[in-house]
A and B are shown apart, each in its own frame.
Chain A
């Protein structure tokens, strides 16, 4: 089954990029019947506004699928923050990052985040699982970061290890989150999210389409 129609529809509704991944071998048994992951992202940090826009896109996706007789399960963008709902017990079984790499929308960069070749790692992600038999897009199998190690150099807490991700060794500790977190604790100045976010802004892929002024003063390459 072709996914082009759904993708085009979601883009007119505001999605920046949409892909379909084959997630079958990553899913726990409660949800293996929902083997396709529709990965969608908008070009915006995870603000309240971005969350609401993604949730709306997910509802549209669910309705589109339901009209055609398919099941779906939406995993919201901020799935880790949703407490007290029964359905939330399934959220941790699905990773937006895995869905995105399977859907061919990006690889996991040295900064531990999905990097899309056009937008870098500033995208906000959401996933809708479905049993609709879409032909999957071709997945990324390995990192495209190459020799670039800007995020390693600029990380103020030494959390970014400089490892190249590959689907063969997905569990490698690319970012030492304990160190990343230690910095969060020291710096309370950030309002939206406590991350310092340097590894996002420094990434050349993130800067491709960005307003230049934001990263002025940071030298590219070495």
Chain B
């Protein structure tokens, strides 16, 4: 097992690899993390995702423009491809199914994909609708797959306004389905205001929330069955 200094060094390598849009550095860092026996999940979030957060700041400071951001995203994925198969499958007792996507008008899917990955790792069945998803498609897909959970992602103040519309429609058709929202401009307050059942700041918390929701639904169902 690597000591803390070594671990930090490897994570920094991945982080800087993302910032410098250096795919090779990200791949090497990811491989080193595996060779050193580090936890793949931790490497993803404390290494690769930490780098992407810094990239977001550089973008806001106008040091990075769109081409750099895209190359950074490619570097992140280069590392992710190596680490992902090694994420420990968690045995969490509950398994649910989720419809997930980034709402209409929004092409930001990096964060959504990380949330999706956490669900995959936890053994959930995931129906990924991708990005820039027409609002009605969430409603249709939920009905079609009878998923317990719908997860909506938005990274723009202009696109997140679509969320309450989806929430309303899904709740009208299927009041038992639970909805979670996320993405930088959203918040617990907005989730409450729009009638979503959950909100999370990041991918790990998204999974924790989801597990709570699915367990809750199962309990409800079991209670109903018991009464019959």
A residues near B (Cβ < 8 Å) are 30-31, 33-34, 71, 73, 85-87, 89-90
* Candidate in A31, A73, A89 with the most chain B CB atoms within 10 angstroms: A73
C-alpha gap A33/B70 in the complex (Å): 16
CB-nearest residue of chain B to A89:
B70
Once the chains are docked, how many angstroms separate the CA of A21 from the CA of B66?
22
Contact across chains for B70 and A87 when beta carbons are under 8 A apart: yes
Tell me whether B71 is interfacial, beta carbon within 8 Å.
yes
Question: Interface majority SS on A: helix, strand, loop or mixed?
Answer: loop
Inside 8 A of B73's CB, which chain A residues have their CB?
A: 86-87
Task: Taking A30-B65, A87-B70, A90-B70 as given, write out 19 further A-B residue pairs in contact, using a Cβ cutoff of 8 Å, ordered by the A residue number.
Answer: A30-B67, A31-B65, A31-B66, A31-B67, A71-B65, A71-B67, A71-B68, A73-B67, A85-B74, A86-B70, A86-B71, A86-B73, A86-B74, A86-B77, A87-B67, A87-B73, A89-B70, A90-B66, A90-B67
Interface size on B, residues (CB 8 A): 9
CA A23 to CA B174, docked complex, whole Å: 53
In the complex, which of the residues B66, B68, B73 has the most CB atoms of chain A within 10 Å of its own CB atom? Answer: B66
**Which B residues fall within an 8 A CB radius of A?**
65-68, 70-71, 73-74, 77
Cβ of A34 and Cβ of B74 under 8 Å apart? no
* Cα(A138)–Cα(B66), bound, Å: 29
Q: Look across to chain A and name the residue whose beta carbon is closest to the beta carbon of B67.
A: A73
Say whether B65 contacts A87, CB under 8 Å: no
Q: Shortest Cβ distance from B31 into chain A, in angstroms? A: 20
Q: Which 5 A-B pairs have the closest CB atoms?
A: A30-B66, A86-B70, A86-B73, A87-B70, A73-B67
* Nearest CB on A from B46, distance (A): 22
User: Can you list 27 residue pairs at the A/B interface with Cβ under 8 Å?
Assistant: A30-B65, A30-B66, A30-B67, A31-B65, A31-B66, A31-B67, A33-B65, A34-B67, A71-B65, A71-B67, A71-B68, A73-B67, A85-B74, A86-B70, A86-B71, A86-B73, A86-B74, A86-B77, A87-B67, A87-B70, A87-B71, A87-B73, A87-B74, A89-B70, A90-B66, A90-B67, A90-B70
Please give, as numbers and ranges, the residues of chain B lying within 8 Å of A71 by CB-CB distance: 65, 67-68
Cα separation A180 to B55 with both chains bound (whole Å): 45
**How many Å from the CB of B147 to the closest CB on chain A?**
26
Chain B residue with minimal CB distance to A129?
B67
Complex: chain A residue closest to B110, CB-CB: A86
Shortest beta-carbon distance from B2 to chain A in Å: 31
Query: Would you give the shortest CB distance from B130 to chain A, in whole angstroms?
Result: 13
CA of A52 to CA of B160, assembled, Å: 43
Whole-angstrom distance between the alpha carbons of A85 and B78 in the complex? Answer: 10
Residues in A whose Cβ lies below 8 Å from that of B71: 86-87
Write the nearest CB–CB distance from A55 to chain B, whole angstroms.
14
Bound together, the chains give a CA A55 to CA B186 distance in angstroms of 42
Give the shortest distance, in Å, between A29 (CB) and chain B (any CB).
9
Q: Which residues of B are found within 8 Å of A73, using beta-carbon distances?
A: 67
Given the complex, which residues of B lie within 8 Å of A89, measured CB to CB?
70
In the assembled complex, the CB of A58 is this many whole angstroms from the nearest CB of chain B, namely 13
Task: Identify the closest chain B residue to A32 (Cβ).
Answer: B65
